[in-house]
Amino acid sequence: MSRGAIRRRHPGAVVSLEENYRAIALIRAFEDRCSELKAAGEIPGSIHLCNGQEAIPVGACRALESRDALTATYRGHGWAIARGIPLVDLFAELLARDSVLCGGRAGSPYFSSAAHGFLGENSIVGGGVPMAAGAALASLHDGRGAVSLVSIGDGALNQGAVHEALNFAAVYSLPLVIVVENNVYSEMTPIDAMVRIKPLSRRADAYGIPGLTVDGNDADTVTDAVGAAVVRARQGGGPTLIEALTERLVGHYSGDLQHYRPAGELASAREREPLVRLRHAAVARGQDSTYRLDEIDREVAELVDMSLASARTISYPDARTVADHVYA
Amino acid sequence: MSRGAIRRRHPGAVVSLEENYRAIALIRAFEDRCSELKAAGEIPGSIHLCNGQEAIPVGACRALESRDALTATYRGHGWAIARGIPLVDLFAELLARDSVLCGGRAGSPYFSSAAHGFLGENSIVGGGVPMAAGAALASLHDGRGAVSLVSIGDGALNQGAVHEALNFAAVYSLPLVIVVENNVYSEMTPIDAMVRIKPLSRRADAYGIPGLTVDGNDADTVTDAVGAAVVRARQGGGPTLIEALTERLVGHYSGDLQHYRPAGELASAREREPLVRLRHAAVARGQDSTYRLDEIDREVAELVDMSLASARTISYPDARTVADHVYA
Amino acid sequence: MPEIAGPQELRYIQAVNAALRWALETHPEALIFGEDVALPGGPFGATKGLHDAFGGRVFDTPISEAAIIGAALGAGMRGRRPIIEIMYGDFMAVAMDQIVNQVANTRYVSRGTWSAPITIRTQQGYSPGACAQHSQSLEAWYGHIPGLRVGIPASPRDAYEILRSAIASEDPTLVIESRLLYPDTGPVTLGGPVEPIGGARVVRPGSDVTLVSWSRLVTESIRAAEAAAAEGHSVEVIDLRWLSPLDFATVAESVHRTGRLVIAHEANLTGGFGAEIAARAARECFWDLDAPIERIGAPDIPIPAAPSLQAAAIPDATSILGAIGNVLDGPARRDRPASPAGPRLGQDAARSLDA
Amino acid sequence: MPEIAGPQELRYIQAVNAALRWALETHPEALIFGEDVALPGGPFGATKGLHDAFGGRVFDTPISEAAIIGAALGAGMRGRRPIIEIMYGDFMAVAMDQIVNQVANTRYVSRGTWSAPITIRTQQGYSPGACAQHSQSLEAWYGHIPGLRVGIPASPRDAYEILRSAIASEDPTLVIESRLLYPDTGPVTLGGPVEPIGGARVVRPGSDVTLVSWSRLVTESIRAAEAAAAEGHSVEVIDLRWLSPLDFATVAESVHRTGRLVIAHEANLTGGFGAEIAARAARECFWDLDAPIERIGAPDIPIPAAPSLQAAAIPDATSILGAIGNVLDGPARRDRPASPAGPRLGQDAARSLDA
Ligand SMILES: Cc1ncc(C[n+]2csc(CCOP(=O)(O)OP(=O)(O)O)c2C)c(N)n1
Ligand SMILES: Cc1ncc(C[n+]2csc(CCOP(=O)(O)OP(=O)(O)O)c2C)c(N)n1
Ligand SMILES: [Mg+2]
Ligand SMILES: [Mg+2]
């Protein structure tokens, strides 16, 4: 796994403030660089960044093993990085180069990595949940004890396919963990206006599975919740739905002006976001600690620079291969 | 409305044992005749009878006004009769004649009646719920105060479109009443094996709407539950999900051998079914009462005979009209 | 793997059952699931006895087509070989996203690093009294989806062979069966090598007209060819068998000999897959054609339930014979005035039904 | 109803907005709903300002396409005139049942006693970097659904007129817009009488070749025609405008004069609606044709995200010009050996892209 990879947290093992900061800062730095690349026209198509939501993939992936399956959405850069997909490969895919991931066929919103058990992002809202249930079904039959984790957004809970897949997984007690990243909005519409319940984890009861709502801006809290769900799933206890509360610090997609967000919302969100929190904690611990974080920022920036630089050396996919890989 | 029609029960008004018996016996007699007609080859295609479930449409339609909208499933003969669609027209449609309903284009599983605000049966499981939500949406905008009632089966709760429509209706507090006829089976599979919750009305909480489970074999109980939901809906209180417990006394469709039903299940169901219950009640009241029910059986049989006889005088749809009505 | 015995008479539905049993016996990673397929043995009996024989590898599902197809995809990506049943082709419409946006993209978008070796079985077509929601023939939709393979068996033999080829294939394959053909019997040789996917078949050689058809209409086409033979016209009937991969070479070779082409399917005419066959012929076989290409299909209407109306909507040997007649008196069309309104082919088909 | 003023320059997306505003002003029963259409004014701005102006008649919905379409149907059956937005054509796949099994059957199956005067707006096509789940052109699916009307505007003027015709129609109508055309400007005359649905339009007269296209490729077709004109070839470009009702008469009349036909669309070639046009021509225009019918479309692959690959997959003026060249040197094809494998037209199209 690359330097970007997350170390698995063993039961009881404590993750240092620095380790959490590094993992989150790496994703943040990647996303910020993507914004620049998009603005500079180096990334074609629209991108959906996870700024502010990084603690969720970071915390969740710590609870997974390499044999486990992971499925995400178009807002999946953070999940890919937390899963250990090298930044160079991600940059290459986003830059529409001939990356080892999907060779530019997928781009930012739809890439996958078979080598990392990453079934892929999905640009159909909720479209990946049936697939994730299927990965859990495979595990039930191959006896490998793998768990399948799928991330979706709050708005995806209103998609029919998600409903069908959650009930399907519940019926067979499939080893599935559903992480709902509630970032307040579905595209430009507040989720509160599109459901009549709160918290969203209440939906779990409709399938007879446990549901809980946790602070998605604290990686350790997420690891604890997902870890417990993973253990239950491996033991045949079936699916768990975990709602992780968070906030988007950027637009839904590149070019979203966010005129729909009330004044002050973003400002206050910036006080609650994961990196700032860890900074506050570090300050409380004293200068050495903050120096360390500054150092991590530099290391992370360097890794991003290096990764981008080598990604830029990768050629664009050859037009003559356009019709390859449609069939076996 | 025809002699088959249900009288609306005004708040507080009591429905006599005889009146309930007549309404249910009429549907039963119609369904039994359909079985004969199917066996005799007079009805083409498969039919889905509601024997044993009649108290649900009878009780529910008593709570509706003519301005209200009604949507059902392929198991909809009872709803059509309770709504007041003349038996002759139903027979004609089922016999593939040029009926005033759909002129034979719909048949047993998909007919509708604009004249009765009956949006129609539906042969796609759950497919009619979004439509019913739309009828409720229309009422919100035309100010006519109409309520939309939709009947579905237990298994339909696992269809994505049903999930989407229930949340959609909840979000706008649409005047929608969802009646889930839980007849233990979805086609040939027990619903208990296909969900992990009981009662099914727990699903209502996922949408933030009231849900309740009632005895579907007692018409008055159904009227009370639906009546309350209709009042709430008209007052802007939004949707209600009502699970009505019942049992099928016949196969899922004509020709279903029911080998999947455990021994004795049908026999005991026959003790709990609506007509037998009313018979028991009549016996308790003494001979006059049972004589009266015998009389009703004769009257009902006569109505069915007459209706079928005149339906048989209706010609088959003219092949030259096959391409009519595709577009305005 | 079962021994190769001589051919035996099987019903179409029994051939499907035999192929499924073969899959479970020869592919330990095979799974079968769908609505009512396990304990009840399938709404049409396709999976009869399989749950008893293979236990949990054959299981019933909720009425959730999107979940069924998506679960097959995910399980397929993770090493299983799911074979699922969608009870009626009409119900695929509730799960088209899983087919077109999920299953079909798997290999291509991942540059071949993921694959989805799954088989989706369904059945389609009208039947007497069936309503518009249980009567459609939507194969044209699937023929338009890159990444998906589509087989459409017309005989018990192909119900067995095409399904086995689909199951053995590493690509997602849709097998569209015909409900009305389920009771039909024919010779099937069980076991033996699995055919590669693809390949049309000349089921009746002829020299005057090429008649391309698939699924249930192959039988009607053969009947029409026999009727034409009685009138002295030799019609070659081709069973297309697969929409993808599409074996157009077999069609082109035949048209090269006959110079006349008729295409017949049960689906609504406009936008039916017959249009693709006609369009390819109008390019690849243009200089071989001696007469306009005729298509037969249902007129552009939802399929009505009443048999008296279905009789006027569903193509059969009679309507196909009418089209054969049209291509045989081709030159006569020269002086036929072009229809002012731009004739609606569906109606043409309906009209020729009265022939 | 707004006064008839002279034409003004509007962007395609502004023309859509104007038609929607017209609908709310002139039809009190009109409703507009969809994802992000009210407060945010629509993901592409089609509904900008309408919620402010018309309040609750314009509202946002959950991400529930089946519910959105079904709710439009039920509201339409009960006296409303809903106009709904499905953000991308690709997302229609999650709700095809509501289209094909519910909306489209309403009038026919009820013998005309129910109707569904609803309009479904969506947009489709590739754009640089967009993934396979946001790039499809699936109009062929809808052209195959009886009971549904399908309009597909190629210009700001038609974005306005076709949408108004759809809204005024008593039948369910799908209007497929083009995301890439949204910023394009053109003359639009606001108000005035609403055109009846249907009707193709000759957008560039010519005498040597008939070039039929729709949506975004009409622009590419005109560019190809101009290039051909430079080489002395007169190409007549027809914008089909509606798949249903299909105005084939306009195509037939043109082919009668030119004797040569090319069809160009962005959709995958196999099973694309171009096949229907070619198939009709191969029957109705057979004796008028002097050359094989050429079709241009995307090869049969999911649309890749990388621009370097898209360049090889998406048809444009160059690939269309190649097809024009082919039909002009028709007779030369006579001695072209028939491709052994049965050429995959998609690949032909891809090949001609290199031209
Ligand atoms: C089936 C479908 N409908 C609509 C869309 C358009 N769309 C893309 S993202 C999005 C919002 C999803 O919101 P949420 O699930 O909360 O995820 P978030 O973007 O907030 O991470 C929508 C509506 C889509 N991609 N797929
Ligand atoms: C989308 C869809 N999937 C499957 C079917 C086939 N089917 C028809 S009825 C039925 C069972 C429905 O069970 P339930 O909802 O409990 O209603 P019931 O028949 O018991 O009244 C099924 C699976 C269908 N018609 N539509
Ligand atoms: Mg969100
Ligand atoms: Mg049931």
Q: Measured in angstroms, how far is the CA atom of residue A189 from the centroid of ligand 3?
A: 9
Q: Is the pLDDT of residue D352 over 60?
A: no
Answer whether A187 contacts ligand 1 (Cβ < 6 A): yes
What is the amino acid identity at position A160? Answer: G
Residues D302, C250: C-beta atoms closer than 8 Å: no
**Mean pLDDT score across all residues of chain A:** 96
Answer whether A124 contacts ligand 1 (Cβ < 6 A): yes
Q: Is D194 on the interface with C (CB under 8 A)?
A: no
Q: Tell me how many residue pairs between chain A and chain C have CB atoms under 8 A apart.
A: 154
Answer whether C90 contacts ligand 2 (Cβ < 6 A): no
Residues A46, D305: C-beta atoms closer than 8 Å: no
Chain B: residue whose CA lies nearest to C35: B189
State pLDDT tens for residues D215-259. Answer: 999 999 999 999 999 999 999 999 999 999 999 999 999 999 999
State pLDDT tens for residues A74-86. Answer: 999 999 999 999 9
Predicted confidence at residue C4, as pLDDT, reads 58
Answer whether D93 contacts ligand 1 (Cβ < 6 A): no
Predicted confidence at residue D339, as pLDDT, reads 33
Closest ligand 2 atom number to CA of residue B53: 21
pLDDT band at B11 (very low <50, low <70, confident <90, very high): low
Predicted confidence at residue B168, as pLDDT, reads 99
Residues A134, C78: C-beta atoms closer than 8 Å: yes
Predicted confidence at residue D6, as pLDDT, reads 86
Ligand 1, from A125, A159, A256: best to mutate by most atoms within 8 Å of Cβ? A125
> Residues C217, C223, C224, CA angle at the centre, nearest 5°?
85
Contact, D159 vs D16, CB < 8 A? Answer: yes
Q: Is C133 on the interface with D (CB under 8 A)?
A: yes
Ligand 1, atom 21: nearest CA belongs to which residue?
A: A153
pLDDT band at D3 (very low <50, low <70, confident <90, very high): low
Tell me the two tokens of residue A52.
């502010």
Q: Is the pLDDT of residue A312 over 70?
A: yes
Predicted confidence at residue A7, as pLDDT, reads 67
Low-confidence ranges of chain C (pLDDT < 50): 1-2, 332-355
Ligand nearest the Cα of residue A161 is: 1
State pLDDT tens for residues A91-115. Answer: 999 999 999 999 999 999 999 999 9
Residues B197, A203: C-beta atoms closer than 8 Å: no
Q: Is the pLDDT of residue A293 over 60?
A: yes
Contacts of residue D199, defined as CB under 8 A and 6 or more positions apart, other chains included, come to D241, D242, D247, D250
Give A149's contacts in chain C (Cβ within 8 Å). Answer: none
- Within C71-196, strands assigned E span 81-86, 119-124, 149-151, 173-178, 185-188
pLDDT band at B181 (very low <50, low <70, confident <90, very high): very high
Predicted confidence at residue C350, as pLDDT, reads 31
Q: Which among C127, C305, C346 has the least Cβ separation from residue B105?
A: C305
Residues D62, B168: C-beta atoms closer than 8 Å: yes
**C-contacting chains (≥3 CB pairs under 8 Å):** A, B, D
State pLDDT tens for residues C216-272. Answer: 999 999 999 999 999 999 999 999 999 999 999 999 999 999 999 999 999 999 999
Give the containing element (helix H, strand E) for A149: strand A148-153
* From D51, D134, D233, D265, the catalytic residue: D134
| Percentage, residues of chain D above pLDDT 70 | 92
Closest ligand 1 atom number to CA of residue A253: 19
Distance CA D66, CA D55 (A): 24
**In Å, how far is D64's CA from the nearest CA of chain A?**
5
Q: Measured in angstroms, how far is the CA atom of residue A156 from the centroid of ligand 3?
A: 8
State pLDDT tens for residues D176-206. Answer: 999 999 999 999 999 999 999 999 999 999 9
Ligand 2, atom 5: nearest CA belongs to which residue?
A: B125
More confident call, A104 vs D355: A104
* From C51, C134, C233, C265, the catalytic residue: C134
Give B203's contacts in chain A (Cβ within 8 Å). Answer: 206
Query: Which residues have their alpha-adjacent CB atom under 5 A from ion ligand 3?
Result: A 153-154, 183, 186
Ligand 2, atom 22: nearest CA belongs to which residue?
A: B187
Give A135's contacts in chain C (Cβ within 8 Å). Answer: 74-75, 77-78
Q: Is A88 on the interface with C (CB under 8 A)?
A: no
Q: What is the mean pLDDT of residues B67-95?
A: 98
Q: Which among D66, D133, D313 has the least Cβ separation from residue A124?
A: D133
Predicted confidence at residue B7, as pLDDT, reads 67
Q: Is the pLDDT of residue D134 over 90?
A: yes
Q: Give φ, ψ of B304 to 5 degrees.
A: -65, -45
Q: Is C91 on the interface with D (CB under 8 A)?
A: yes
Q: What is the 3-state secondary structure (H, E, C) of chain D?
A: CCCCCCCEEEEHHHHHHHHHHHHHHHCCCEEEEECCCCCCCCCCCCCCCHHHHHHHHEEECCCCHHHHHHHHHHHHHCCCEEEEEECCHHHHHHHHHHHHHHHHHHHHHCCCCCCCCCEEEEEECCCCCCCHHHCCCCHHHHHCCCCCEEECCCCHHHHHHHHHHHHHCCCCEEEEEEHHHCCCEEEECCCCCCCCCCCCEEEECCCCEEEEECCCHHHHHHHHHHHHHHCCCCEEEEECCEEECCCHHHHHHHHHHHCCEEEEEEEECCCCCHHHHHHHHHHHCHHHCCCCCEEEEECCCCCCCCHHHHHHHCCCHHHHHHHHHHHHCHHHHHHCCCCCCCCCHHHHHHHHHHC
Q: Which among B155, B188, B319 has the least Cβ separation from residue C308?
A: B319
pLDDT band at A6 (very low <50, low <70, confident <90, very high): low
**Mean pLDDT score across all residues of chain D:** 93
Closest ligand 1 atom number to CA of residue A154: 16
Q: Is the pLDDT of residue A153 over 90?
A: yes
Residues B160, A161: C-beta atoms closer than 8 Å: yes
Ligand nearest the Cα of residue C93 is: 2
Predicted confidence at residue C9, as pLDDT, reads 98
Q: What is the mean pLDDT of residues A172-181?
A: 98
**In Å, how far is D323's CA from the nearest CA of chain A?**
20
Chain B: residue whose CA lies nearest to A161: B160
Within 189-208 of B, beta carbons closer than 8 Å to A belong to 193-197, 202-203, 205-208
Concerning whether D51 is annotated as a catalytic residue, the answer is no
Answer whether C66 contacts ligand 2 (Cβ < 6 A): no
Q: Which among A131, A138, A164 has the least Cβ separation from residue C102?
A: A131
Distance CA D97, CA D95 (A): 5
Distance CA A234, CA C73 (A): 21
State pLDDT tens for residues B183-201. Answer: 999 999 999 999 999 999 9
Pick from A171, A176, A116, A173: nearest CA to A146: A176
Give D31's contacts in chain B (Cβ within 8 Å). Answer: 137, 141
Pick from A6, A53, A3: nearest CA to A28: A53
Q: Give φ, ψ of B157 to 5 degrees.
A: -65, -15
Contact, D186 vs D221, CB < 8 A? Answer: no
Give A170's contacts in chain B (Cβ within 8 Å). Answer: 195-196
Chain A: residue whose CA lies nearest to B193: A171
